[in-house]
Amino acid sequence: MTASGINNVSGDTLESEIFNQSKSIDEITYRKKGKNWFVLSGFKGSEVLYIKTFIGAESINHLSMRYPAGHKTLYDDIVHKISHSYKPGDINAFH
């Protein structure tokens, strides 16, 4: 699991970030989008990759989790709980 943030110096939008992040997943099996966030999940080789991103005018916050596809049933509930508790910092300010 990795949680990170970057300054949005390139002026990325929700759509451009979805496009960029989708390149890191071989087969997308789940996607959801809100006003300033999105989730992509699917398979990367023999692993499940889950990405949740919040994007603002000044900052982008990412949460990513990767685990063996063979343990999907075990980890799906854990990922669900973690992802729903993940809150971004102030994405409308540089950090």
Residues 6+ apart with CB under 8 A from 1: 63, 64, 65, 66, 82
Domain count of the fold of the chain? 1
> What pLDDT score was predicted for residue 11?
94
pLDDT of 95 higher than 90: no
Contacts of residue 38, defined as CB under 8 A and 6 or more positions apart, other chains included, come to 14, 17, 18, 21, 31, 32, 52, 53
Residue 12 lies inside a defined structural domain of this protein: yes
In a domain, 16, yes or no: yes
Q: What is the pLDDT of residues 2-45, one digit of tens each?
A: 999 999 999 999 999 999 999 999 999 999 999 999 999 999 99
What is the domain range of residue 29? 2-85
Mean per-residue pLDDT for 68-95?
93
Contact status, residue 28 vs residue 42, Cβ threshold 8 Å: yes
Residue 90 resides in a domain: no
Is 91 contained in some domain? no
